[in-house]
Structure 1
């Protein structure tokens, strides 16, 4: 059972001593709901609060619930979170754009309980990203859910669904592979049954797999199932975003103890070096837009319905692709892309920007300048990449994992470290998800022997990278990941901002270019102010500028 856990929190800015204790008096704190940001309400300021904030919530637990497992699912906290349950530390997470799960069970008791979350958004030399031009506001800015489950249950985002054989059959048949990760939190023993039910877009059962598993106390068990030779599947495509699902049920004897539904789509795609992008066997020109998550008033603390509105506005404008700049977006955002039919470029939070490269600010070098920070920083980038893939792997809209954006904004002498980390990230991406390629986003620098665009399967060139000689017909799959860059206030000019596309023939009309994505879809908060923040075709209040039309 999953309960919305967003309501009735208390919040206080600052690092409040003793706020983790259950008997702490928070009666004079702000009464808030989630999602929430330190900066709420926020309206495009270059300044934002950096420091600590505390969140507290009271809730009841009955005796029956204590027989199972109670955990909290966080979709995103920027950027370090310490979770306390009844005064005891239950978990820690570092990384502002990926979700995480905290098991509260060992710290709970019957009756009244208190969860307290200490959050900070301080710049850290060992935490990715070290820099960027966005605003890095703190807070529990995405959804939180209370998950009640049996001691044996499907692990957090523990179902992975892939399809095979679509290309070979020309879309006429496929197999569906289901990997189920079972968590056994109390080392229980005995036989359990895992049943997966394949369902049509209308919700009708069209296949069933059954596996019996002997648990002997191991904490995690992987169960592999498959539905072979699914005939004439309806293909997911931006014009027909058809979704199937798999219901995964866990039984102890005849009693159902867990049930998880996973949506997915039948589709296949190919990024090619000489012929562009193909979707379901047909050449498909990508017409995309870059999109940040923040919106007027809320800042980063955007509710699910507003994410859906963003996706719908880009779909209505005629785009077929969104580049998630420059961090993993929320599950709700990806769900909207699946359902409305937009391809998605999902990017890990390893990015940087122009400006001073000194430690201590959000314009710092993309890679550490102090040797002792390197190992921990690299692990941070790898961990967040792994979390992004695990959380979002079943979305049919995602056709690439991007490792970065413009990591070449680094201090002198650190480029070898950048290249080493990117190589490690590409290898991890291939290991965790062999079905999707790994991209190097913002790969238009450096030039010559130090190029980074060849480190991945796909190169994304921003801005002038589409016209630099080094990157013309580069011999690898490639994409203009940012073009346009036109700063205007509403209402703006009645001009699509496509000037870059007409500079010369290298931007268009060539089979080796998969497509392009405009910079950018929406105005957003930027530490550099309006010069970079007002480049959207839609303003911060989600009112279209003239260029949207």
Structure 2
């Protein structure tokens, strides 16, 4: 117990070194966990010594095993245009997330303080007990919530017992939701007079180059009728004080304490320059400092102009966005800031500038990173309202809890400059009901009340319904999911004269898999349960990327798009969802489950990333048995034209043109003839001058394992991650694109093996074991730092080829 308490002291170091009035502690280590419904587990006297010891964030289901029988769902998916009920296998990832779990730990609270427990998310139906007493219940697993435990913690400084019961019901999700305390848990202690959780609101009523006005509204609790003094400094991105105010007053009828500031020559927040300010407020009562509260914010303006589109800081732009589920692939739903940063870095290089949190509230770490790294956000809370999509979905709680959930989300994230708009739902069946308009207005009004500065959208897929019943006309920004053929009609009929691609494309592909002959198709099925990476296959309700790219280019009134999806995710293995086990992860991602970009990544990059050269060739060039036959070659490039050479023979020059959407964004040689050797592409600029070239080659026999990572070193915090790319290559270092061998990993030194993934939606290898089959010659292994400085040594072996080794510094 002494070691446990020392660990908590280190985790709560800001109790000693931070502001004495406000302390915050993360409860991470030494939790006890059991996956079963235990009677009496909330009691202080309960013996949990035989339970598993875990760290939080923790996802109990990601360790598997995968099983076809995990959450079988015999359903009709109406939003996918299904007419008949069918057995869905792998719909929620084939992982054992269903069931009940208990977590227990202890914590100390400073004496004489106001104490609050803050949960960033708990999946799901959380019942929280302190010292045997239930202190709160929060059913929605995606939302952050808090519990006032001041009256139940020990006043004498003794340890307090915290117990949390969580339950995931079967058929409660359409994808893998995760399980357990999968986000962080905080203990917050303040004086009686304090700013409550999410207690400030910052707006910027005027934004200009010369100056910006900043309005800070601060909720203060516990003051009663006493006079308060609030002193606030506005700090620039460089940490300099650029504005200050000292105001005295009383809290009138619970209204917030308001202060106004002028900031000269502000640095404006944008994806290209994500400048962040801080408002540091000190609360005094009768000359005594009672609280210090810091609010991070950005200065920027947003406008949505009918017929013209979206303006950020006065500049017209389109959303180049992606939708993402919250799971982190092989890490599951357990949040890790390093993993989120890794994902965002890949998307940033692609030219992505916006994230839709489909279809739920995000982890606060994601929103913080979007602020810092420059991503605009559409934050979305719900996948269903009062009418069910899933038997045990959110509709069970909507009437009582929807407003509470919305208020928590809005107050939590309304100060973040990355947040550009709120979404109130995704493809909800309610959109076609007689009550749909009323329910949508109820939710939109909550957004307007809590945050009048941002517009509201909704992902709508039933276009005929919402155009005819007034639903779409009432929403601030009408968002259409797919249905690109209805864009023009919707624009003409709706009073907003704007259309947002709230969910687009849903192209499906498996990394490194290429099907011949090459042809466009919808919900195409193959015997190997894979999809072609020629990027011409989509689901019956969706389309290939080129359609949405063209719409964004051709019409000012289209606001841009949020592609489904940035990353593959666990569950929803379309088009292999009908009794198609072992498929258990999506194929929608631009980037696969192993964080390896698919070919489609470079198609988007060639259009979206205006600052970098893109020149990418597909497919691979190992086609034994196809000698002398047609193997089409596609090129995704930022240049307007290119010439293809196979073993020195020219197959002609292709130039982008607008006869079809594909010809506008791709260069294609459908009649290229396969022969082993070298494929070279020479790219030309607008003047017809050769400016870049790229080559791929037929690979020889597998020779050795190659390990690489973009991380030069890791931070010794016990959380930092390195994503190590593993390739099977020939003697010349060329990828062997059809290899599928089993590889073993060994990680030694000041770190540990965390997980691995290969991106194969049909592979049942467990993520947490130090071995995995490569998929088309590649996989990713994830290494986590320890808490000491030193080195991590990574070794990968497989019979018959030379081992691969890599060393990482931890500092």
Distance 2:389 2:592 in 1: 32
The residue number in structure 1 matching 2:471 is: 452
- 2:177 aligned residue (136, 139, 142): 136
- 1:165 Cα deviation after fit: 1.5
- 2:335 aligned residue (297, 302, 307): 302
The residue number in structure 2 matching 1:115 is: 162
Distance 2:574 2:27 in 1: 35
Distance 1:380 1:470, change over 3 A: farther
- 1:13 Cα deviation after fit: 1.0
The answer on whether the counterparts of 1:46 and 1:529 sit within 8 Å (CA) in structure 2 is no
The answer on whether the counterparts of 2:504 and 2:548 sit within 8 Å (CA) in structure 1 is no
- 1:396 aligned residue (400, 417, 422): 417
Cα RMSD between the aligned structures? 2.7
> Matched residue of 1:176: which SS?
strand
The residue number in structure 1 matching 2:376 is: 343
- 1:540 Cα deviation after fit: 1.5
Tell me whether 1:245 sits opposite 2:278 in the alignment.
yes
The residue number in structure 2 matching 1:35 is: 57
Deviations 1:38-60 (A, max 9, x none): 31326772343323211100223
> Matched residue of 2:489: which SS?
helix
The residue number in structure 2 matching 1:541 is: 594
The residue number in structure 1 matching 2:326 is: 293
> Following superposition of structure 1 onto structure 2, how do residues 484-503 of structure 1 map, counting pairs within 5 Å?
484-491=505-512, 493=533, 495=535, 499-502=544-547
The residue number in structure 1 matching 2:454 is: 436
The answer on whether the counterparts of 2:535 and 2:544 sit within 8 Å (CA) in structure 1 is no
- What runs of 5+ residues in structure 1 fail to find an aligned partner? 124-129
Distance 1:506 1:307, change over 3 A: closer
The residue number in structure 1 matching 2:482 is: 463
Distance 2:172 2:558 in 1: 29
> Matched residue of 1:419: which SS?
helix
Distance 1:454 1:38, change over 3 A: farther
Higher relative contact order (CA 8 A, sep 6+): 1
- 1:180 Cα deviation after fit: 0.5
Deviations 1:203-242 (A, max 9, x none): 11112122334479x8x55211111x32211111111111
Tell me whether 1:149 sits opposite 2:190 in the alignment.
yes
- 1:72 Cα deviation after fit: 1.2
Distance 1:382 1:466 in 2: 35
- 1:359 Cα deviation after fit: 6.5
The answer on whether the counterparts of 1:41 and 1:298 sit within 8 Å (CA) in structure 2 is no
The residue number in structure 2 matching 1:162 is: 203
Distance 1:456 1:322 in 2: 20
Distance 1:188 1:386 in 2: 24
- 1:195 aligned residue (221, 231, 239): 231
Distance 1:421 1:409, change over 3 A: closer
Distance 1:496 1:199 in 2: 50
Deviations 1:131-190 (A, max 9, x none): 763223332111111112111111110011110112xxx432221000100121xx7664
> Matched residue of 2:407: which SS?
helix
Aligned pairs, number: 517
Distance 1:272 1:131, change over 3 A: farther
Distance 1:530 1:79 in 2: 28
Distance 2:501 2:173 in 1: 20
The residue number in structure 1 matching 2:26 is: 4
Distance 2:389 2:413 in 1: 34
- 1:345 Cα deviation after fit: 0.8
The residue number in structure 1 matching 2:391 is: 360
> Following superposition of structure 1 onto structure 2, how do residues 392-431 of structure 1 map, counting pairs within 5 Å?
392-408=413-429, 415-431=433-449
- 1:307 Cα deviation after fit: 1.6
TM-score, normalisation: structure 1: 0.87
- 1:527 Cα deviation after fit: 4.8
Distance 1:275 1:388 in 2: 30
- What runs of 5+ residues in structure 2 fail to find an aligned partner? 1-22, 67-91, 514-532, 538-542, 577-584, 603-811
Distance 1:321 1:505, change over 3 A: closer
Distance 1:132 1:545 in 2: 27
The residue number in structure 1 matching 2:247 is: 211
> Matched residue of 1:157: which SS?
coil
The answer on whether the counterparts of 1:149 and 1:258 sit within 8 Å (CA) in structure 2 is yes
